[in-house]
Protein backbone atom coordinates (compact mmCIF):
# COMPACT_ATOMS: atom_id res chain seq x y z
CA UNK A 1 0.00 0.00 0.00
CA UNK A 2 2.79 2.42 0.77
CA UNK A 3 4.21 1.78 -2.71
CA UNK A 4 0.86 2.79 -4.24
CA UNK A 5 0.79 5.95 -2.15
CA UNK A 6 4.39 6.82 -3.10
CA UNK A 7 3.61 6.20 -6.76
CA UNK A 8 0.55 8.46 -6.57
CA UNK A 9 2.54 11.18 -4.82
CA UNK A 10 5.30 10.96 -7.44
CA UNK A 11 2.74 11.12 -10.25
CA UNK A 12 1.10 14.19 -8.71
CA UNK A 13 4.45 15.90 -8.25
CA UNK A 14 5.50 15.08 -11.81
CA UNK A 15 2.21 16.41 -13.19
CA UNK A 16 2.60 19.59 -11.15
CA UNK A 17 6.15 20.14 -12.46
CA UNK A 18 4.98 19.58 -16.03
CA UNK A 19 2.09 21.98 -15.59
CA UNK A 20 4.32 24.70 -14.16
CA UNK A 21 6.87 24.28 -16.97
CA UNK A 22 4.13 24.44 -19.62
CA UNK A 23 2.69 27.60 -18.07
CA UNK A 24 6.14 29.16 -17.98
CA UNK A 25 6.85 28.25 -21.61
CA UNK A 26 3.49 29.02 -23.21
CA UNK A 27 1.49 31.10 -20.79
CA UNK A 28 4.01 33.33 -19.15
CA UNK A 29 4.61 36.95 -19.90
CA UNK A 30 7.08 36.15 -22.67
CA UNK A 31 5.16 34.72 -25.61
CA UNK A 32 8.20 34.22 -27.85
CA UNK A 33 7.89 30.48 -28.53
CA UNK A 34 4.12 30.53 -28.97
CA UNK A 35 4.19 33.56 -31.30
CA UNK A 36 7.16 32.20 -33.27
CA UNK A 37 5.66 28.77 -33.87
CA UNK A 38 2.26 30.20 -34.76
CA UNK A 39 3.88 32.71 -37.13
CA UNK A 40 5.62 29.87 -38.95
CA UNK A 41 2.56 27.59 -39.08
CA UNK A 42 -0.33 30.08 -39.38
CA UNK A 43 1.43 33.30 -40.32
CA UNK A 44 -0.78 33.86 -43.34
CA UNK A 45 -3.75 34.25 -41.03
CA UNK A 46 -2.01 36.65 -38.65
CA UNK A 47 -2.59 34.50 -35.57
CA UNK A 48 0.80 35.45 -34.12
CA UNK A 49 -0.16 39.14 -34.21
CA UNK A 50 -3.33 38.47 -32.21
CA UNK A 51 -1.31 36.48 -29.64
CA UNK A 52 1.01 39.48 -29.14
CA UNK A 53 -1.95 41.87 -28.84
CA UNK A 54 -1.56 43.53 -32.25
CA UNK A 55 -5.20 43.32 -33.32
CA UNK A 56 -4.99 45.93 -36.10
CA UNK A 57 -1.97 44.26 -37.70
CA UNK A 58 -3.54 40.81 -37.35
CA UNK A 59 -6.68 41.99 -39.10
CA UNK A 60 -4.61 43.56 -41.90
CA UNK A 61 -2.83 40.24 -42.53
CA UNK A 62 -6.11 38.32 -42.36
CA UNK A 63 -7.90 40.64 -44.79
CA UNK A 64 -4.99 40.67 -47.23
CA UNK A 65 -4.81 36.89 -47.12
CA UNK A 66 -8.52 36.32 -47.65
CA UNK A 67 -9.69 39.17 -49.88
CA UNK A 68 -6.60 39.85 -51.92
CA UNK A 69 -5.82 36.15 -51.96
CA UNK A 70 -9.09 35.54 -53.79
CA UNK A 71 -8.50 38.40 -56.21
CA UNK A 72 -4.91 37.37 -56.97
CA UNK A 73 -5.54 33.61 -57.16
CA UNK A 74 -3.68 33.01 -53.90
CA UNK A 75 -0.57 35.08 -54.55
CA UNK A 76 -1.35 37.53 -51.73
CA UNK A 77 -2.10 34.64 -49.36
CA UNK A 78 1.20 33.01 -50.28
CA UNK A 79 3.02 36.32 -49.69
CA UNK A 80 1.43 36.67 -46.24
CA UNK A 81 2.51 33.10 -45.45
CA UNK A 82 6.10 33.98 -46.37
CA UNK A 83 5.83 37.12 -44.20
CA UNK A 84 4.66 34.94 -41.30
CA UNK A 85 7.54 32.51 -41.86
CA UNK A 86 10.06 35.36 -41.80
CA UNK A 87 8.52 36.89 -38.67
CA UNK A 88 8.46 33.49 -36.95
CA UNK A 89 12.14 32.98 -37.64
CA UNK A 90 12.92 36.49 -36.38
CA UNK A 91 10.90 35.89 -33.20
CA UNK A 92 12.60 32.58 -32.45
CA UNK A 93 16.14 33.81 -33.10
CA UNK A 94 15.90 36.75 -30.70
CA UNK A 95 16.87 36.26 -27.08
CA UNK A 96 13.99 36.06 -24.62
CA UNK A 97 14.83 39.45 -23.15
CA UNK A 98 15.22 41.12 -26.54
CA UNK A 99 11.93 39.65 -27.80
CA UNK A 100 10.07 40.72 -24.66
CA UNK A 101 11.45 44.26 -24.76
CA UNK A 102 10.90 44.70 -28.50
CA UNK A 103 7.51 43.12 -29.13
CA UNK A 104 5.72 43.04 -25.79
CA UNK A 105 6.99 46.10 -23.96
CA UNK A 106 8.06 48.25 -26.93
CA UNK A 107 5.05 47.17 -29.03
CA UNK A 108 6.94 47.03 -32.36
CA UNK A 109 4.24 45.61 -34.66
CA UNK A 110 6.19 44.76 -37.83
CA UNK A 111 9.48 42.83 -37.98
Q: For 31-66, what is each residue's pLDDT tens digit?
A: 899 999 999 999 999 999 999 999 999 999 999 999
45-62 burial: b if 16+ Cβ within 10 Å, else e: bbbbbbbbebeebbebbb
User: Per the domain annotation, does 47 fall within a domain?
Assistant: yes
DSSP string, 49-75: HHHTT-HHHHHHHHHIIIIIHHHTTTH
In this structure, the answer to whether residues 17 and 70 fall within a common structural domain is no
User: Per the domain annotation, does 70 fall within a domain?
Assistant: yes
> What global pTM score does this model have?
0.71
List the domain range (segments joined by +) for residue 12. Answer: 1-27
pLDDT band with cut points at 50, 70 and 90 for residue 30: confident
What is the tally of structural domains in the chain? 2
CB-CB contact of 95 with 36 (8 Å): no
Amino acid sequence: MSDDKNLKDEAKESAKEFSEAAKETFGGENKKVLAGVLAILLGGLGVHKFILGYTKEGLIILVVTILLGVLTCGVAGWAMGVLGLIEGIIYLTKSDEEFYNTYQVGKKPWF
